[in-house]
Amino acid sequence: MKFRGGYNIHLKGKPDGAVKVMPEPAILHLPLSSERFTFSDIQVQDGQKVHAGDALAKDPDNHGVPLLAPRAGTVRLKVAENHIVLEDVAQLEERADITEAQLLHVEKQMGVSGKKRIQLLSLGAWQFFYDAFTGALPDPLGTPQAVIVSTLSLEPYLTRGDAQLQKRLLNFTRGLEHLQSLLEYQPIYLVMPDITSEFATLVRNQIRGYAWAKMLEIPLTYPYDNFAILARKLGLRSHGGPVWAVRTEGVLAADRALTLTKPCTVRIISIGGIGVNAPTHLKVMPGYPLKTIKEHYVSEPAVRVISGGILTGETLADGALGIDTECRGITVLPELQEREFLGFIRPGWNRRCYSPSYLSALRMPFSERLTTALRGEGRPCVACNYCEEVCPAGIMPYLIHKYLYADLIEEVEQARVDLCVECGLCSYVCPSKIDLQTQLIDAKALIEKEKEEIRQEQLRQEEARKQEEARKQSEEKTE
């Protein structure tokens, strides 16, 4: 499979392959929103005692995906804004928030596949599924044209697939079988690294017997593991129906939900970046106090904490108290405000530069210390073309930037801004410090909004036309 663009950023602070179990918390702060979800439909009362696995809230705009209680405890709704707090947390027997009788009823109504899908949704496994083209949560009762399963995570500092698979290879293959049981003839593409390692060979051997799983070996270059890029490379088109996409943790969650009928509330997340004293992976649950994680892993006083990886993650707001339900990793960078002398051209022995024109190009590949220091001000585009070279979507970010500057929205659309997969590489390599990624994301949202407004207007006009016709017909009848 041939890809275009892409670039590997070598940074210090990469998490090792180990998984550390964090101490049991006494309190959990469960955020009511995450990247895709807003849990606005609260299911519990203040002061209520809950079991582990009970639904605390649901997202009504995302097929009712639940926020599950990871532990037993007492609910507090008014202690922290935008959080449900669980006090007196206890590690007791967890339970499914759906009874056997309810599942039997669903099975009678919707068949075995329908029952499994509801089970995935109510036990918290469905939240690990994505629509490959949009990144949204797919309809659990929908039919995909294909499923992409990725064991890779190539963005710097994010949870590594091999760390999650350790000792759980059997659960993974059983999870794949469960996924296959939801489908009729649709293929499952299993994305693997094109490298020979003992572990990769073990996975390959395990999968070899599955005729329905098509192995897809890809180079370890960011962002070739991006689901939209993979779907396009496979020749799948969005008008052919949704493509479900799921990573290692989602397959393991599907196994837990469907083999054990147990809620999926524990996660393995990475903690990386040079602000971390021992970058690694942590076994935690949503709501786990960020303060405790910082106390254990962050040594520097002034740091920026990012939920996610270095290119696509979001800086955590000051009010964030616990791990949110979609967190895949935490990145911590020392917060430095000063500018570096001639920083924008990245000269010197210790600065990696996309353009191999400085001293560092003479060195063997090395990992750089990345901080939040400003490396020079933004300046006009110098037409170096680096952003186009690295773009995996085959578009011209600098051209779109120029159209946006001139407010030429139609031209932006014609330049196929919709193909941008928001990987952030263009911003990273731009020597002029132009935040192309944000500009393109905003432009996509603006065009989508305008299209939606036009759609709504057309619907309104159609409705008015129908009403007018009905009125005329009724007048004619009366006459």
Residues that bind ligand SF4 (CB under 6 A): 381-387, 390-393, 395, 397-398, 401, 420-426, 429-432, 434, 436-437, 440
Neighbours of 151 (CB within 10 A): 21
Contact 419, 390 (CB under 8 A): no
- In angstroms, the CA 14 to CA 271 distance is 8
CB 111 to ligand SF4: min, Å: 40
Which residue's CB is nearer to ligand SF4, number 321 or number 381?
381
Which residue's CB is nearer to ligand SF4, number 7 or number 189?
7
CB 433 to ligand SF4: min, Å: 8
Label the pairing between strands 280-284 and 267-272. Answer: antiparallel
DSSP 3: -
Closest CA to 421 of 234, 270, 232: 232
Task: Give all strands (DSSP E) within 236-375, no chain letters.
Answer: 243-247, 267-272, 280-284, 303-307, 314-315, 329-334
CB 436 to ligand SF4: min, Å: 6
Which residue's CB is nearer to ligand SF4, number 263 or number 392?
392
Which residue's CB is nearer to ligand SF4, number 17 or number 378?
378
Which residue's CB is nearer to ligand SF4, number 41 or number 435?
435
Which residue's CB is nearer to ligand SF4, number 203 or number 436?
436
CB 437 to ligand SF4: min, Å: 4
Which residues, including other chains, have CB under 8 Å from residue 382's CB and lie 6 or more apart? 431, 432
- In angstroms, the CA 457 to CA 330 distance is 43
CB 152 to ligand SF4: min, Å: 17
Closest CA to 132 of 151, 149, 116: 149
- In angstroms, the CA 418 to CA 415 distance is 9
CB 385 to ligand SF4: min, Å: 5
Which residue's CB is nearer to ligand SF4, number 236 or number 421?
421
At 79, is the secondary structure helix, strand, or coil? Answer: coil
Length of the chain: 479
CB 431 to ligand SF4: min, Å: 6
Which residue's CB is nearer to ligand SF4, number 211 or number 383?
383
Is the C-alpha dihedral spanning 219, 162, 96, 84 positive or negative? negative
CB 147 to ligand SF4: min, Å: 23
φ, ψ for residue 122 (rounded to 5)?
-75, -20
CB 43 to ligand SF4: min, Å: 37
Which residue's CB is nearer to ligand SF4, number 277 or number 315?
315
Contact 65, 127 (CB under 8 A): yes
∠ CA 176-178-183 to the nearest 5 degrees? 95
CB hemisphere CA count around 14 (13 angstroms) = 16
